[in-house]
């Protein structure tokens, strides 16, 4: 299919490589244009703006940071909305507010362009391997149109409900990740202080009821106290703010998510906002005397 792709960060770059590998015709745009070069070498076309990347595309994917960034990429003068043809499907794979998602979908609908929210989980590893979990909100017809593109990037592709449902599902995902990472950090600190062989500990508990993606993929960071990307602390903090807002609106108590958001605000203030989110282990290691 003809695909326009905007946002070539940690996630977007490898997602485009998988689209190319699956035989799609991809035109890419990134605000920092130099990031387009490696993808052009791999066979993508380059476009000077989100509008230009959208011209002639059947499916247009956006994968940028936060709600205002998607608004800029879609609605600005050189935005997707100016280039997308009637009948095209825009899939926003960024993690943003469900409210903003619904607003963008309404603006695109005026031009007969359909929108899906398709936030993802599975980390940079999932983006590289094409094994992301994609949480979709929108019309079934648009989901069917975009499916060949989605299948090149993800393994678990779930149509949850109407527009915005994907983003609410992603908020649920991030609430669960917050609690899991913090618990993994606490458990590992116990093991380290007890002087155990931590690779054996991770093997033992990972095979039982305490097994989790965070334990398998991020315990090494927490043990070494080194947090390469991954998923930035500041992006997870942004996601928890979306979850806290939704919880407030729905009248749900989410104390662990609120606590982790506070830990992350402290990490950002100390200059750790661009570390991987497993850096929340610092908040357990340091008061435990583990440095
Ligand atoms: P990233 O590495 O920080 O990249 C962000 C991308 O967004 C860059 O291409 C950046 O362009 C672009 N961007 C930001 N603001 C923009 C604006 N105002 N106008 C145009 N482009 C803009 O982020 P990422 O890790 O790829 O994450 C992208 C999205 O996926 C986020 O919503 C994140 O929450 C979500 N996500 C990430 C992960 C993960 O493990 N990393 C996992 C699941 C979901 P420049 O290059 O010019 O800065």
Q: Measured in angstroms, how far is the CA atom of residue 95 from the centroid of ligand 1?
A: 9
Q: Is the domain of 138 the same as that of 222?
A: no
* Residue 108, pLDDT score: 98
* Number of domains composing the chain: 2
Residue 291 lies in a domain: no
Question: Which atom from ligand 1 is nearest to the alpha carbon of 124?
Answer: 40
Rounded distance between C-alpha atoms, residue 28 and residue 4, angstroms: 6
Question: Sign of the C-alpha dihedral, residues 164, 72, 119, 25?
Answer: positive
Inside any domain, residue 36:
yes
Given ligand 1 and candidates 5, 8, 11, 125, which is best to mutate, with the most ligand atoms within 8 Å of its CB?
A: 11
Q: What is the distance between the alpha carbons of residues 16 and 7, in angstroms, rounded to a whole number?
A: 10
- Centre of ligand 1 to C-alpha 9, Å, is 5
Question: Do residues 47 and 185 both lie within one domain?
Answer: no
Q: What is the CATH number of the domain that holds 216?
A: 1.10.1040.10
Spell out where 129-255 has E strands.
Answer: 132-137, 154-161
Query: How many whole angstroms from 162 Cα to the centroid of ligand 1?
Result: 24
Q: Which atom of ligand 1 is nearest to the CA of 64?
A: 7
Residue 242 pLDDT > 90, yes or no?
yes
Closest atom of ligand 1 to 35 CA is: 46
Residue 142 sits in the same domain as residue 200: no
Compute the average pLDDT of residues 59-88.
98
Question: What integer is the mean pLDDT of 248-273?
Answer: 98
On whether both 191 and 86 belong to a single domain, the answer is no
- Does 69 share its domain with 151? yes
Q: Do 95 and 128 fall into the same domain?
A: yes
Structural domain includes residue 190:
yes
CA angle centred on 267, ends 264 and 270, rounded to 5°:
155
Catalytic site residues?
A: 170
- Over residues 140-157, the mean pLDDT reads 98
pLDDT at 291: 87
Are 18 and 158 in the same domain? yes
| Class of residue 41 by CB neighbours under 10 A (exposed 0-12, middle 13-18, buried 19+) | exposed
Domain boundary residue among 162, 196, 227?
Answer: 162
Closest residue to atom 30 of ligand 1, CA basis: 94
pTM exceeding 0.85: yes
CATH number at residue 118: 3.40.50.720
Would you tell me the crossing angle of helices 233-250 and 165-193 to the nearest 10 degrees? 120
**Which residues on neighbouring strands pair with residue 61, listed in sequence order?**
5, 91
Residue where a domain terminates, one of 162, 193, 215: 162
| 33 and 157 belong to one structural domain | yes
User: What is residue 230's predicted lDDT score, i.e. its pLDDT?
Assistant: 87
For atom 22 of ligand 1, the residue with the nearest CA is 64
What's the mean pLDDT in 167-194? 98
Pocket of ligand 1 (CB under 6 A): 7-12, 30-32, 35, 63-65, 69, 72-73, 94-95, 120-121, 123-124, 230-231, 235, 239
Beta bridge partners of 3: 26, 59
User: Is 194 found in the same domain as 101?
Assistant: no
Range(s) of the domain holding residue 77: 2-162
Q: Is the per-residue pLDDT at 48 higher than 90?
A: yes
CA 255 / ligand 1 centre spacing (Å): 27
- Whose tokens are 């992006």? That residue is 235
- Pull the structure tokens for residue 97: 């507010």
């Amino acid at each position: 299919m003809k695909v326009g792709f905007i946002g070539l960060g940690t996630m977007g770059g490898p997602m485009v490589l998988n689209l190319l590998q699956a035989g799609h015709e991809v035109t890419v745009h990134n605000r920092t244009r130099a990031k387009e070069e490696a993808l052009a070498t791999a066979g993508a076309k380059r476009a000077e703006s989100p509008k230009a990347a959208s011209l002639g595309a059947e499916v247009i994917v956006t994968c940028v940071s936060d709600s205002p960034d998607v608004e800029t990429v879609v609605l600005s003068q050189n935005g997707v909305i100016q280039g997308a043809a009637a009948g095209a499907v825009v899939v926003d794979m960024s993690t943003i507010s469900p409210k903003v998602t619904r607003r963008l979908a309404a603006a695109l609908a005026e031009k007969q362009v359909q929108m899906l929210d398709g936030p993802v989980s599975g980390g940079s590893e999932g983006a590289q391997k094409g094994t992301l979990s994609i949480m979709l909100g929108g019309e079934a017809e648009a989901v069917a149109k975009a499916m060949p593109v989605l299948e090149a990037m993800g393994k678990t592709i779930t149509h949850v409900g109407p527009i915005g449902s994907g983003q609410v599902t992603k908020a649920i995902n991030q609430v669960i990740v917050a609690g899991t990472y913090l618990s993994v950090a606490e458990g590992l600190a116990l093991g380290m202080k007890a002087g155990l062989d931590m690779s054996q500990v991770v093997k033992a508990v990972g095979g039982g009821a305490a097994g989790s993606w965070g334990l398998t993929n991020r315990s090494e960071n927490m043990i070494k106290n080194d947090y390469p990307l991954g998923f930035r602390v500041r992006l997870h903090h942004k996601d928890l703010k979306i979850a806290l807002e939704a919880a407030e609106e729905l009248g749900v108590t989410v104390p662990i998510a609120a606590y982790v958001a506070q830990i992350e605000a402290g990490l950002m203030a100390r200059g750790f906002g661009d570390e991987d989110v497993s850096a929340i282990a610092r908040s357990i290691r340091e008061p435990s005397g583990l440095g």
